[in-house]
Structure 1
Amino acid sequence: MEKMDLVILETSDVHGSVFPINYGSNQSSDVGLGKIASLIKKERVKNPHLLLIDNGDLIQGTPLTYHYAKIQCNRPNPMIVLANELKYDAAVFGNHEFNYGKGILASTVNESNFPWLSANIVSKETGEPYFGKPYIVKKVEDIKVGILGLTTHYIPNWEQPQHIEGLRFEDAILTAKKWVKILKDDEKVDIVVVSYHGGFERDLETGEPTETLTGENQGYQICMEVEGIDVLLTGHQHRQIAGNRINGVIVVQPGKDGSTLGKVTLQLEKDEVGWKCVEKYSELLSVTAVEEDISLLQKVKMYEDITQEWLDQPIGKIEGNMIFHDPMEIRTKDNTLIEFINRVQMEVAGVDISNSALFDSISLGFPENVTMRAVVSNYIYPNTLKVIRITGQDMKEALEQSASYFEQYDGKEIKVNPSFITPKPQHYNYDMWEGIDYLIDISKSSGERIVKLEYKGKPVEPEKEYDVVMNNYRSGGGGNYFMYKNKQVIKDIPTDISEIIANYILDRKVVKATVNQNWKVIY
């Protein structure tokens, strides 16, 4: 009986990470395509029958890709230079592929020596897959492998409308049912691989919901409801998942930033009927202790050198202290860093209420001598600003949503609600406000924690309307802030917030750190 091992390697949520460094500190870090490349090359030597797929969120996420998109976009995209060199077989569109607009996305697709897939991103006019290819069929010896691409259809809740104009994002489950049947019945494939830029909405073992079932993540449902799938490659949640089967489907998810490489091995046998999979398993290959592929990094060293020079440009000074060492301190009482970001947003938007978040727990503030590195390390997303008109009731509900970031106080220590940590860290979904005065009492149950809410010294009125500036992700309801959805947009400010902050400092040369103690957490 003829036998064969087929290996499928997956990268996902690389987010522009190439060099093994943390851009905030320029210290070494176990991340990036440079290290992933070394793993891929080793696997190619060991496994002659191998497919390599990127599962989305490849081209956005570091100063390298930001600088390329904003300043060097007349050159080839460095991420595609590397992906071509590594000979990817296919890539799937993630939600962050759209962040830099349709021009960058079009050039990304055109420069790629491999197809980009997404069956459920269709043209509003024709209903056909917008980017041409819902799937590909790869021949490995005489085995036919169908690879179907799917993208979380929740993107319109986050992305700027002009970036997705003319596109419709269809339900991933319904789309998978349609195209998997075509792969099996019409294409007569032996193996079906679904590469889905989305994650799991339920516990992989028990099936219990692990998040609000909005449709953002449908991986569990895909496995349970779509017949004929052998492998489900996932991403979006930045989780590290391997070794699990759901309804017989082997699944994998390789974290983020190129920290691990997903690997699926299918043991195949051929009988008189044809090829069939007799065993399958998945694993994660870590880049820890792996040396980066210097020859690959040389292909984009010019981009990196220019980016590093740009990052170290001084843009101004901070008078006072805007450095923190404890992220929980920032999230439990008013502080100079978040107050500064909110005040910048308020000034550029011409309103007097704003909210913002501390996006991660690594870069905590601006040093006395501010560089672009400090700005992009603290404001890590390519968000823009919107002013929306909300009611006082909407404001109260939004603050309660933020307040659910904390577990109910146990008398010992302040803890983060596990739902903001697992299955994916979501610290960026805790907002802090300027322009209103409020108290969060975490000794109370969620939904009852805002014990003071005032605007200009008077209680916020539930029916009264207020204009608030916030990032575009939040204004569309991202992060379960459903009270913001479909609100009237008073002003749209299309400039990246990191650029707004940098220009603010450049214009003033010296910025004074202030804090007015307009909010705090109590217990």
Structure 2
Amino acid sequence: MRSYRLAGLAVTAAAALIVTSTPAATAAEHASITVMETSDLHGNVFNWDYYTNAEYDDSDANDVGLAKISSAVEGVRADRGRDRTMLIDNGDILQGTPLSYYYAKVEPVTETGETHPMAKAMNAIGYDSVTVGNHEFNYGLDLLDTFRKQIEAPVLGANVSDERTHLPAYQPFTLKKVDTGAGKPVTVGVLGLTTPGSAIWDKGNVEGKLGFGDMVQSAKFWVPIMKAFGAEVVVASSHAGDDGTSSYGDELPTENASAQIAEEVPGIDAVLFGHQHKDVPQRFVKNKLTGKDVLLTEPAKWGQRLSVVDFDLERKHGRWQVAGASSEAVNTNTVPEDPKITELLRPQHDKTVEYVNETVAESSQELSAAESRLKDTPIVDFIQKVQTDTVEAALEGTPQAELPVLSQASPFSRTAKFPAGPVTVRDIAGLYIYDNTLEAVTLTGAQVKEYLEFSAGYYNQLAPGAPVDPEALTNAGGLPDYNYDMLAGVDYDVDVAKPVGERIVNLSRDGVAVTPEQEFVLAVNNYRRSGGGNFPQVPAAPVVYNEQVEIRQALIDTATESGVIDPADFAVPNWKLVREGVPVF
């Protein structure tokens, strides 16, 4: 995708600025201010797990949600002085919980006119800016545009362009005058940047509409403009990790470029980043041109942490300069939920709880996803069956109608289960936690084999006779569970005693070995089809089905229509882990 033309945009930038003033105090040469950051909130307002129908809890005793964040923010404001602080968000706001799903799809705010719960909460807390994250595009541009109108803070995205005009699609940066308590306010500039991967991951929503440029090059262009408009402290809000990696190869500019921004762009005082869901209280990177140490910080996901950055200022030649910076992470499990937020959002929360607890079917037995990354489990076969049936029905009467349909699924959750008896919306949503849509492509037998070999890299090599530790067997090289794919429609073994690239054996269909030239249709989610996880063959494969069917909703609809979930109707054990032909389990 093209990025916007950088020349001649100063006028556009000037028009986009939002400048507010705060009263001055007594003159002095030294002062301090504080900038707070949240990131990757993913629709969390309450400290609540909609999938377990209970207060959120994990093994590290973390809490989540904007109600917790609000209390933490108020504590910092009380300590530093409200007028001497700013609060920004780094993106991935609109997707991630049944609460955010409900107001995007069940009662969409684009149709009802109701204020989105995330906008409502963030307005009440008092954010100064938010940056678009890649998940902002998941529900389409109409929802994002509605959110932009509802939230009172500017929505930033300096490297996102309108494909028709090549001008910025979102406000590139914002300026705010912050009280220093020392006689003269300081002008803080926040530059919003987002990872270019949205061009791939949400291709169906953004192609031909938005372009995503290189984050480093965009920062190099905009920082001098920010300074020309008076920014004395420059903060980059970078929705990108800090390790320089990309999940999509070289097709687009670097996905996780935050450290590169700090290293290569002069004039930035701190990079407040996100996207990778890490907890980085404080890190320093030296700028290659100025030799200056640039602070980086990332708060943990879902509102588990609040990054707090303190800037020490000194005044020289009539301007404030950053003399030093430090940061810390406030753990939100140390504060209560702010009743101002919980009371404000209670009606929307209660409506969501009611929705996810609706019974849609009866399960003949308990089905668990606990071992799905290690074994072919019936609960994942339920996903595979629904995807296969949906694509087969859609292909009737097409040239691909006679081709065998395979299906791809990943073990998204280790805790999901369908209880014996009533199965609710939240049970199914807990199994399929992402808002993916269903697509289908054609592949050859050789490509299917290559795809499976790539997926099998998820396992660490296990020597024959060595003890089997399930926790040490998976997630090789840090690969997450959602980047392990299993296929239905073919039979195969994964030999974990063999090196990566040589593990798929006995690949067959209906008892006959798959040949390299055979043709198949693969039902696949839009994330994988668009290049998510960097799987081979699929992104470039011919698309034969894409009706924007939401996979989670298809699962709910199938269960509702049948009224019964019985493994006898869909469970087909077709793959297993082996060592030199001997099953591991």
TM range (shorter): over 0.9
Aligned residue for 2:8? none
Q: Is the 8 A contact 1:404 1:417 kept in 2?
A: no
Alignment partner of 2:540: what SS? coil
Question: 1:370 maps to what in 2?
Answer: 423
Check 1:452–1:226 CA distance in 2 against 1; reply closer, same or farther (3 A cut).
farther
SS of equivalent to 1:485: helix
Residue 169 of structure 2 aligns with which residue?
130
Distance of 2:169 and 2:278 partners within structure 1? 29
Contact map agreement 1:201 1:213 (CA 8 A) in 2: no
1:447 is aligned, of 483, 501, 516, to: 501
Deviation at 1:174, TM superposition (A): 1.1
Would the alpha carbon gap of residues 452 and 381 (structure 1) be closer, same or farther in structure 2, given more than 3 Å must change? same
Q: Structure 1 residue 235 and structure 2 residue 274: aligned?
A: yes
Say if 1:375 and 1:408 are closer, same or farther in 2 by CA, change over 3 A: same
Contact 2:188–2:233 (8 Å) recurs in 1: yes
Amino acid at match of 2:264: E
Structure 2: runs of 5 or more not aligned:
1-27, 57-62, 180-184, 287-292, 393-403, 580-585
Decide whether the 8 Å contact of 2:279 with 2:299 is kept in 1.
yes
Matched, 1:171 2:198: no
Aligned pair partner of 1:71 in 92, 102, 106? 106
CA distance, structure 2, for counterparts of residue 179 and residue 482 of structure 1: 36
2: CA distance, partners of 1:443 / 1:170: 43
Q: Tell me which amino acid in the other structure corresponds to 2:38.
A: T
Alignment check: 8 A CA contact 1:366 1:375 kept: no
Alignment partner of 1:462 is 2:516: yes
Counterpart among 103, 106, 118 of residue 142 in structure 2? 103
What is the rounded CA distance, in whole Å, between the counterparts of 1:476 and 1:382 in structure 2? 14
Query: Which residue of structure 2 lines up, in the alignment, with residue 409 of structure 1?
Result: 462
1:140 and 2:178 matched: yes
Q: Which one-letter code corresponds to 1:237 in the other structure?
A: Q
Contact 1:99 1:163 in 2 (8 A): no
Q: CA–CA distance in 1 between the matches of 2:473 and 2:247?
A: 16
**Which of residues 521, 526, 530 is equivalent to 1:472?**
526
Q: 1:170: Cα distance to partner? A: 1.0
8 Å CA contact 1:239–1:253 kept in 2: the answer is yes
Instruction: Report the residue type matching 2:574 in the other structure.
Output: N
- Answer with 21-30 or 294-303: which moved more: 21-30
Relative to the length of structure 1, the TM-score reads: 0.93
Residue 165 of structure 1 deviates from its aligned partner by 4.3
CA spacing shift, 1:95–1:453, aligned 2, 3 Å: same
**1:2 is aligned to 2:29:** yes
Change (3 A) 1:312 1:230: same
SS of 1:409 mapped into structure 2: coil
- 1:57-91, Cα deviation, whole Å (9 max, x unpaired): 11111011111111222111010001111110000
C-alpha contact 1:149 1:195 (8 A) present in aligned 2: yes
How is 1:229-268 mapped onto 2 (pairs within 5 angstroms)? 229-247=268-286, 248-268=293-313
Write out aligned runs for 1:105-504 (5 A).
Answer: 105-131=144-170, 133-141=171-179, 142-184=185-227, 186-202=228-244, 214=250, 215-247=254-286, 248-272=293-317, 274-324=319-369, 327=370, 329-350=371-392, 352-365=405-418, 367-410=420-463, 411-412=466-467, 413-414=469-470, 415-416=472-473, 421=478, 426-504=480-558
> Is residue 53–residue 88 contact of structure 1 (8 Å, CA) maintained in 2?
yes
- Superposition deviation, residue 273 in structure 1: 5.1
Would the alpha carbon gap of residues 420 and 91 (structure 1) be closer, same or farther in structure 2, given more than 3 Å must change? Answer: farther
Displacement of 1:255 in angstroms is 1.5
Q: Is the 8 A contact 1:420 1:427 kept in 2?
A: no
CA distance change for structure 1 residues 32 and 105 in 2, over 3 Å: closer, same or farther? same
The number of residue pairs the alignment matches comes to 509
Q: Which letter maps to 1:126?
A: T
Letter in 1 for 2:142: G
Query: In structure 2, the residue corresponding to 1:341 is in which secondary structure?
Result: helix
- Asked whether the equivalents of residues 201 and 211 of structure 1 are also in contact (C-alpha less than 8 Å), the reply is no
SS at structure 2 position matched to 1:257: helix
CA spacing shift, 1:210–1:508, aligned 2, 3 Å: closer
| 3-state SS of 1:288 partner | helix
Alpha-carbon offset, residue 110 of structure 1:
0.6
Q: Distance in 2 between matches of 1:344 and 1:300?
A: 35
CA drift of 1:426 comes to 2.1
Superposed CA deviations along residues 384-434 of structure 1, whole A, max 9, x for unmatched, are 00011122222122212211111111522242555563xxx7211111111
The residue that corresponds to 2:5 in the other structure is none
- Structure 1 residue 153, shift from structure 2 partner: 0.5
2-structure distance, mates of 1:213, 1:3: 46
Quickly say closer, same or farther: Cα 1:85–1:6, change in 2 above 3 A. same
The answer (yes or no) to whether the contact 1:38–1:291 under 8 Å persists in 2 is yes
Deviation at 1:496, TM superposition (A): 1.4
Distance across 1 between alignment mates of 2:248 and 2:548 = 30
Counterpart residue identity of residue 96, structure 1 = H
Distance in 2 separating the partners of 1:171 and 1:462: 39
Structure 1 residue 252 displacement after superposition: 0.8
C-alpha deviations, 1:188-243, integer Å up to 9, x for none? 421110001111224xxxxxx69786522111221221111111011111011122
Q: 2:92 aligns with which of 54, 57, 65?
A: 57
What's 1:22 paired with?
Answer: 49
1:6 Cα deviation after fit: 1.4
Contact 1:391 1:465 in 2 (8 A): yes
Unaligned runs of 5+ in 1: 203-208
Q: 1:164 to 1:291 in 2, by over 3 A?
A: farther
Residues 248 and 532 of structure 2 are in contact (CA less than 8 Å); yes or no, is this contact kept in structure 1?
A: no
Q: How far, CA to CA, are the matches of 1:87 and 1:40 in structure 2?
A: 10
> Alpha-carbon deviation of 1:316?
0.6
Of the structure 1 ranges 160-169 and 97-106, higher mean CA displacement relative to structure 2 is found in 160-169
Q: Cα deviations across residues 320-347 of structure 1 (Å, max 9, x unaligned)?
A: 33124xx3x2112211011111001000
Q: Secondary structure at the match of 1:332?
A: coil
TM, length-normalised to structure 2: 0.84
C-alpha contact 2:46 2:342 (8 A) present in aligned 1: yes
**CA distance in 1 between partners of 2:374 and 2:415 (Å):** 17
Per the alignment, do residues 252 and 367 of structure 1 end up closer, same or farther by CA in structure 2, a change over 3 Å counting? farther
Assess if the C-alpha contact under 8 Å between 1:323 and 1:367 holds in 2: no
Report the aligned-residue RMSD: 1.8
| Secondary structure of the corresponding residue to residue 348 of structure 2 | helix
Instruction: Name the SS for the 2:119 alignment partner.
Output: helix
- Which amino acid counterpart does residue 104 of structure 1 have in structure 2? L
Q: Please tell me whether the aligned partners of residues 461 and 473 of structure 2 are also in contact (alpha carbons under 8 angstroms).
A: no
Kept in 2: contact 1:54–1:88 (CA 8 A): yes
**Distance in 2 separating the partners of 1:293 and 1:68:** 22
1:483 CA drift (Å): 2.1
Contact 2:278–2:301 under 8 Å retained in 1: yes
Distance 1:60 1:195 in 2: 19
